[in-house]
């Protein structure tokens, strides 16, 4: 049976937190095709045996008039069934009007306060007729890729991914905080750091590394996503902003300490490997898009202690 999963999300992290449900569907029907608005999901999941194909779509998803074009797009793949992980009337109608035999979709007109994890879990359970779909899964990467990274670092050191980059400025803890944290850790232990920033965050990466007093790090800003991932999967811990890197590490069984400043807790609700850090006088339920919490309300000392508490 040729199965399609439609993920109507541009962010890599939002796509990755749906991976458990993609795997659940694939376990029942065989490897799936994912259609996504995320341009780098294909490179991220290239080693996943439960994913047959990933198709990036950057059109037919904005205007209601595009329904017929999207229908024709679906028809070109001859899918037997489609699972739409979003309450979109447009995508639903395009699917119903296509040659797809079975169409499963989120309840329509319920976009407000959509909890990504709860909604995806309930939808998968109802669609598949199962009672307890796990929110966690295993991220697939070929072992030789991890070993190639470990050949070039001292594996006796405790390796931490510093997730300094993110898609928006309001979710970032700040270069000074990260460099101070790294220096404090270096003064009290034996560490190695992978500085995770995207290509657009070169200046941020340089600001951090220029203030690190030891040469025990590697910057990843100039690497492609498929080159970055083996570094993430070979680490002992993730510490940083809410970014795609934490979803990779959490789904690789690695403790992931995420500093929440402007991201809903729903993004990190799904894995036992997540540990959330946020300002003392704030309730985690009140943190969401637009919170714009002050990064300096999360002290370096607080993050440092959380690292020590979660090392073992």
What is the per-residue pLDDT for 167? 65
Residue range(s) defining the domain that contains residue 107: 3-128
Banded model confidence at residue 112, pLDDT cuts 50, 70, 90: low
* CB 196, CB 220: distance < 8 Å: yes
In whole angstroms, give the CA distance from residue 119 to residue 204: 35
- Mean pLDDT for 11-21 is 95
In whole angstroms, give the CA distance from residue 105 to residue 119: 11
83 pLDDT more than 90: yes
Higher-scoring residue by pLDDT: 165, 225:
225
Domain boundary among 76, 101, 128: 128
- Let me know if residue 138 belongs to a domain: no
Residue at token pair 């994913």: 51
301 pLDDT more than 90: yes
Is 160 found in the same domain as 113?
A: no
Is 124 found in the same domain as 185?
A: no
201 pLDDT more than 80: yes
Using CA atoms, how far residue 61 sits from 10, 85, 141, 204, 228, in Å, is 11, 14, 31, 33, 30
243 pLDDT more than 70: yes
Model confidence pLDDT, tens digit, residues 166-200: 766 667 888 999 999 999 999 999 999 999 998 88
| Percentage above 90 pLDDT, the chain | 77
Mean pLDDT lowest among 59-63, 68-72, 123-127, 257-261: 59-63
- β pairing state of 81-84 and 51-56: unpaired
Is 174 found in the same domain as 257?
A: yes
Q: Find the DSSP H helices in 202-260.
A: 202-209, 225-233, 244-250
Q: Which residues of 41-55 are buried (b: 16+ CB within 10 A; e: fewer)?
A: bbebbeebebbeebe
- Let me know if residue 136 belongs to a domain: no
What is the per-residue pLDDT for 170? 67
> Of 151-155, 183-187, 263-267, which has the strongest mean pLDDT?
183-187
Domain boundary among 74, 100, 128: 128
In whole angstroms, give the CA distance from residue 147 to residue 54: 26
264 pLDDT more than 90: no
Our count of domains for the chain comes to 2
Banded model confidence at residue 59, pLDDT cuts 50, 70, 90: confident
Is 124 found in the same domain as 169?
A: no
What is the per-residue pLDDT for 6? 98
Mean pLDDT lowest among 65-69, 169-173, 214-218: 169-173
Is 159 found in the same domain as 297?
A: yes
What is the per-residue pLDDT for 166? 73
What is the per-residue pLDDT for 200? 87
- Mean pLDDT for 40-52 is 98
Is 154 found in the same domain as 105?
A: no
What is the per-residue pLDDT for 219? 96
- Cross-strand pairs, 84: 6, 105
What is the per-residue pLDDT for 285? 84
- Mean pLDDT for 208-223 is 95
What is the per-residue pLDDT for 61? 65
- Let me know if residue 84 belongs to a domain: yes
3-state helix, strand, coil split of the chain in percent (to 5) is 40, 15, 40
44 pLDDT more than 90: yes
Q: Output the domain CATH number for residue 112.
A: 3.40.50.2000
Mean pLDDT for the chain? 93
Quote the tokens at residue 88.
């979109």
- Model confidence, pTM: 0.92
């Amino acid at each position: 049976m040729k199965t399609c999963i439609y993920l109507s999300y541009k962010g890599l992290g939002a796509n990755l937190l749906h991976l458990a449900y993609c795997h659940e569907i694939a376990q029942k029907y065989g490897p799936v095709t994912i259609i996504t608005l995320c341009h780098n999901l294909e490179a991220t999941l290239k080693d996943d045996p439960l994913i047959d194909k990933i198709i990036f779509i950057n059109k037919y998803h904005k205007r209601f008039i595009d329904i017929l074009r999207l229908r024709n797009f679906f028809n070109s793949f001859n899918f037997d069934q489609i699972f739409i992980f979003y309450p979109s009337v447009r995508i639903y109608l395009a699917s119903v009007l296509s040659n797809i035999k079975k169409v499963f979709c989120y309840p329509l007109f319920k976009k407000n306060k959509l909890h990504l994890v709860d909604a995806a879990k309930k939808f998968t359970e109802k669609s598949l007729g199962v009672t307890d779909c796990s929110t966690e899964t295993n991220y697939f990467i070929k072992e030789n890729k991890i070993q190639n990274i470990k050949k070039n670092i001292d594996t006796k050191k405790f390796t931490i991914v510093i997730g300094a980059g993110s898609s928006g400025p309001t979710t970032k803890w700040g270069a000074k905080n990260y460099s101070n944290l790294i220096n404090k850790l270096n003064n009290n232990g034996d560490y190695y750091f992978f500085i995770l920033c995207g290509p657009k965050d070169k200046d941020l990466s340089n600001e951090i590394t220029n203030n690190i007093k030891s040469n025990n790090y590697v910057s990843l800003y100039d690497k492609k996503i498929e080159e970055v991932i083996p570094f993430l999967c070979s680490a002992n811990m993730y510490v940083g902003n809410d970014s795609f890197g934490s979803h990779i590490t959490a789904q690789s069984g690695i403790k992931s300490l995420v500093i929440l400043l402007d991201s809903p807790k729903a993004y990190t609700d799904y894995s036992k490997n997540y540990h959330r850090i946020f300002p003392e006088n704030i309730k985690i339920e009140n943190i969401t898009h637009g919170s714009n919490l002050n990064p300096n309300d999360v002290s370096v000392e607080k993050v440092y202690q959380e690292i020590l508490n979660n090392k073992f």
